[in-house]
Structure 1
Amino acid sequence: MNPIISKLLFDIARKRFEKTTQQPVKSETQIRPLINSLEVEIRHAIKEYFLILIGVFSAGFGLKGFLLPNDFIDGGATGISLLIENLTSISLGFLLLVVNIPFILLAIKTISKKFALRSIVAISLLAVVVHFVEYPVITEDKLLIAIFGGFFLGLGIGLAMRGGSVIDGTEVLAISLSRKLGITIGDVLLLINIVIFSFGAYVLSIETALYAILTYLAAAKTVDYVVDGVEEYIGVSIISEFHEDVRLMLTEKMRRACTISPVKGGYKNEKAHYDRSLIYIVMTRLELPRLYTELDKIDKNAFVMTSVVKDLKGGRIKRKPLK
């Protein structure tokens, strides 16, 4: 590793250690676990922000290469911004920031400050890309515009979600309302978009609203493909030599209930015996990046298996879809 970066990590780890223990650092060995944790956090953060960056440029391509030049609209906060942009001379980049502000404030209250910060970065980048980056106009065929404009916009939204953020704030509103009303996030998004498309049919035209529905459906299906559903639950099985540390991380840091079962090793001709534990936990797909980050800090060689959970009933499932 670069000596400058190593020194920076050492200084940060030293300050954290001294703040927590109220004792001076006597050797690097004392803070080696903290340094390793910082390295993991930085590595995962780079990967997640890279996904956000690619997602922003993909969404920008969908908007400026397909939707904007042909006066098309979409659903969600982007659709609201496009509607206002069609009715006024206000820049779309500025509108994307303003329309999403209430949703970001809601994210700080209902989800987390870290998630809200990443979303602010993602939405700001999208506003900059839409305002300054020039994309070629791909086609004037309305059907192709609706389908492929929705595809690239949905791809951008999905990649941003994989990076732990959103570029359309209505997802946050949908999460909040789903908890209060007891309905799914998908149903809330559908209701929000029905209102947007109805308004679009009134102020623009019914044809534009119908094409907007096609755009929304293409975007929604693409998002499903990229992140397998906003509210989808994933079952995670973990086998690690440091199973107690993993359990503490899950229950104390991530505040999730888990199930622990003894398992036998059965490699080749070795005598099978209960030498490890299998930890099983259910969470949403959007929480997986954080789980992988925390797990890498404890055991990079842990065996992790994930599977889609189609239905849930009972148990201690904390319904908090985002980090």
Structure 2
Amino acid sequence: MGANDRSIKGIIKDYILITIGILMTAASIVYVFNPNRLAAGGVQGIALALGSFTGIPTGILMIAINALLLLAAFLLMGKGFGEKTLYSSLGLSVAVYFLESRLYHGPLTDDLLLGSIFGSALMGVGVGIILNRGASIGGTSLIGTIINRYLHFEQVGSIVAVDCLVTLFSLFTFGVEIGLYQLLSVYLCGAVINKVIDGFSSRKEVMVIANEKRSIMEFIMKDLNRGATLIKGRGAYTGIDNEIIYSILTRREFIRLKLFIEQHDKGAFLSVNTVTEVSGEGFSRRG
């Protein structure tokens, strides 16, 4: 298979996953957030608040707001923010309008706490999938990017600040109690997004100081089929030269290695960190 074929397959995979993320995010908006007047920030929050005054469907308002933001981004920043963002932001607005107008049969729940938790989880997974494929749902992320470019404020901080302003606007629109649930939704949604992004490619970074280095190295390379590196070191107290085994493993592989070390070298020193992004030989690359 040529490089061009792999590139096409990667693009198709990206757009399939982005579409899944769009549908999950749209479902959370239509079936959980909007019926309960909850807003997890962003364009959805702005559209929900404006819709309460104008009576215009949220999907229509989201299309209009996102179109204006995308136009502003094109004019102020050029085409650098990408075609995927154009697809995902407008695709989300269209999906919300379609679900609202064609497939809406009532909310999944009327309980505000359950709605905040379940809706944030559903939206967080959907947005996490979209972001993990190098796209964005537009909205406040575009506003944050524009603020960062021209006012030189930190980008993530700008996005959070805009989301908080949106939630504050909704608080005055729908009342304090719903506003507090909205703040909870903003926090939970952000936490789930980060967890989804990290969870897709997180691995265990393992460092081992052991007497049975050779057997542990062979277990990693032959039984786990992973690479390993020997790093030269020296004990600060003993002054003795030693070698540290360094390897990157999946969670399941780490458990197998840990059990092997417990059986063959009980005195071994084992240090483990979670790394959130691994790419290279032996691990799948994005795309």
- TM-score, normalisation: structure 1: 0.56
C-alpha displacement of 1:67 = 1.0
Question: Equivalent residues in 2 for 1:1-323 (5 A)?
Answer: 36-108=2-74, 113=79, 115-133=81-99, 134=103, 137-228=107-198, 303=281
Distance, in Å, in 2 between the alignment partners of 1:61 and 1:167 is: 14
| Distance across 1 between alignment mates of 2:90 and 2:69 | 14
The CA distance in 2 between the partners of 1:112 and 1:53, in whole Å, is 24
- Note the alpha carbon deviations across 1:85-132, whole angstroms, 9 max, x for none: 222221222111111123323444676637442222222322232222
Give, in whole Å, the separation in 1 of the partners of 2:78 and 2:8.
Answer: 19
CA distance 1:95–1:125, change in 2 (3 Å): same
| Shift in alpha-carbon separation, 1:107–1:163, aligned structure 2, 3 A | farther
Q: CA RMSD in A?
A: 3.2
Question: 1:38 Cα deviation (Å)?
Answer: 2.5
Distance 1:83 1:153 in 2: 19
The verdict on how the C-alpha distance between 1:39 and 1:109 changes in structure 2, with shifts beyond 3 A counting, is farther
CA shift for structure 1 position 169: 2.1
Alpha-carbon contact 1:62-1:150 (below 8 Å) kept = yes
The 3 A distance-change label for structure 1 pair 102 and 227 is farther
Q: 2:34 is matched by which residue type in structure 1?
A: L
Q: In the TM superposition, what is the alpha-carbon distance from 1:211 to its structure 2 partner?
A: 0.9
Counterpart CA distance in 2 for 1:112 and 1:154 is 28
- Shift in CA distance, 140/219, structure 1 to aligned 2, threshold 3 Å: same
- Give, in whole Å, the separation in 1 of the partners of 2:132 and 2:77: 16
The one of the two structures with greater contact order (alpha-carbon pairs below 8 A, sep at least 6) is: 2
Cα distance in 1, alignment partners of residues 81 and 153 from structure 2: 23
Deviation digits for residues 4-58 of structure 1 (CA, Å, limit 9, x no counterpart): xxxxxxxxxxxxxxxxxxxxxxxxxxxxxxxx34312211111110111110111
Aligned-residue offset at 1:183 = 4.2
Comparing 143-152 and 101-110, the one that deviates more = 101-110
| Residue correspondences, number | 207
Is the Cα–Cα contact under 8 Å of residues 155 and 226 in structure 1 kept in the other structure?
yes
- Give the aligned residue type for 2:53: L
Matched-pair contact (CA < 8 Å) for 1:48–1:162: no
In the alignment, structure 1 segments of 5+ residues that lack a partner are 2-35, 230-264, 267-284, 293-301, 307-323
Give the 3 Å change call, closer, same or farther, for CA 116–169 of structure 1 in structure 2.
Answer: farther
* 1:139-186 deviation line (CA, Å, top 9, x unaligned): 111101111112211222111112222113211221332355554333
Task: Identify if the C-alpha distance between structure 1 residues 113 and 182 changes in structure 2 by more than 3 Å, giving closer, same or farther.
Answer: closer
Identical positions, percent: 26
C-alpha spacing 1:224/1:199, structure 2 compared with 1 (3 Å): same
Deviations 1:171-213 (A, max 9, x none): 1221332355554333212211222122112222111211111
